[in-house]
């Protein structure tokens, strides 16, 4: 992402925040454009290029009404979704391409000793990320909001005894296609994760929440066969080590409110709106 692209992204983020904060006042296109110091024409075109929909349509995707409708209308269980075959647009992406391989007890216990981890930094529609991989798959992806040094330090804290090499490998490239427009070009993505059996089960279930879809903490608890463990499920969701690929941002409150997110509640809202827009465009 060059300087101009970063400036455009910052403007879009600022505009979305403005629209959310002033939704009840029904701000006009001209008001939103003025907030980010652009003409209405240029703002509309920039926003359409990023989201695929108008600012007004995007805001509708972020509304409580939209979230509640999705939760009510999703009659198929996550398991039903998982067993479907064929790629019917972006909504089946995670079912077909993502697979978790948990670390061995030895790898889990010794902090990644004997593991060689490649890592790199990249730009996404939602900000800069750090992505890391072992020979078996992606082991870490996070937003580098506080700079590369801090992002790398957080990665090292997860695997303190691993050997680190700054290198972009094929696994990382495959994973980064998730942010592109043509998902049909994705190769198979594998995840190599450090977590308890309960956490990995929750993460595996999260992978079956379709793009553009939503679930709740209680819904996840029921899917894994522990309907009274919504609080423990929430802790596992919060411990997700792979941003976006494991879509913990698709877990919301039963009321339809988006709730908190490890990498920021506002970013979560933007992700959900972006996915809703992309999925709607694919279906149309």
| 171-196 per-position pLDDT tens digit | 998 888 888 755 555 667 889 998 99
What integer pLDDT is reported at residue 118 of this predicted model?
A: 97
Please say if 139 is a catalytic residue: no
Q: Is the dihedral of CA 221, 227, 230, 232 positive or negative?
A: negative
Q: Is the dihedral of CA 31, 34, 35, 36 positive or negative?
A: positive
Three-state secondary structure of 231-242: HHHHHHHHCCCE
The catalytic position among 155, 229, 242, 248 is 248
Q: Kindly report the average pLDDT of the chain as a whole number.
A: 82
279 neighbors 89 (Cβ within 8 angstroms): yes
198 neighbors 232 (Cβ within 8 angstroms): yes
| 227-253 per-position pLDDT tens digit | 999 999 999 999 999 999 899 999 988
Predicted TM-score (pTM) of this structure: 0.79
Of the chain, the end-to-end C-alpha distance in Å amounts to 29
What integer pLDDT is reported at residue 278 of this predicted model?
A: 76
Confidence of residue 140 (pLDDT cuts 50, 70, 90): very high
Element spanning 202, H or E: helix 197-206
Confidence of residue 112 (pLDDT cuts 50, 70, 90): confident
What integer pLDDT is reported at residue 56 of this predicted model?
A: 81
What integer pLDDT is reported at residue 135 of this predicted model?
A: 93
Which domains are present in the chain? 3-55 (1.10.10.60), 69-283 (1.10.10.10)
């Amino acid at each position: 992402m060059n300087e101009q692209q970063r400036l455009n992204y910052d403007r879009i983020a600022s505009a979305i925040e403005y629209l959310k904060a002033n939704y009840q006042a029904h701000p006009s296109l001209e008001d939103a454009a003025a907030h980010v110091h652009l003409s209405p024409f240029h703002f509309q075109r920039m926003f359409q290029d990023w989201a695929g929909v108008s600012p007004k349509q995007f805001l509708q995707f972020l509304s409580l009404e939209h979230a509640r409708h999705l939760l009510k209308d999703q009659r198929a269980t996550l398991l039903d979704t998982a067993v479907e075959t064929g790629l019917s647009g972006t909504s089946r992406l995670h079912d077909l391409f993502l697979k978790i391989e948990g670390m061995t007890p030895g790898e889990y216990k010794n902090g990644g000793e004997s593991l060689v981890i490649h890592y790199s930094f990249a730009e996404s529609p939602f900000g800069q990320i750090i992505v890391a991989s072992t020979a078996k798959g992606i082991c870490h992806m996070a937003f580098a909001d506080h700079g590369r040094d801090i992002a790398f330090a957080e990665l090292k804290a997860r695997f303190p005894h691993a050997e680190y090499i700054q290198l972009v490998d094929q696994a990382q490239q495959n994973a980064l296609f998730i942010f592109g427009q043509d998902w049909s070009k994705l190769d198979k993505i594998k995840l190599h994760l450090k977590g308890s059996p309960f956490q990995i089960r929750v993460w595996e279930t999260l992978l079956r929440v379709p793009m553009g879809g939503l679930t709740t903490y209680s819904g996840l608890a029921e899917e894994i066969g522990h309907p009274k463990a919504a609080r423990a499920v929430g802790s596992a969701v919060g411990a997700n080590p792979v941003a976006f690929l494991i879509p913990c941002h698709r877990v919301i409150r039963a009321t339809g409110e988006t709730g908190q997110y490890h990498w920021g509640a506002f970013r979560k809202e933007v992700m959900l709106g972006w996915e809703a827009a992309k999925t709607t465009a694919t279906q149309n």
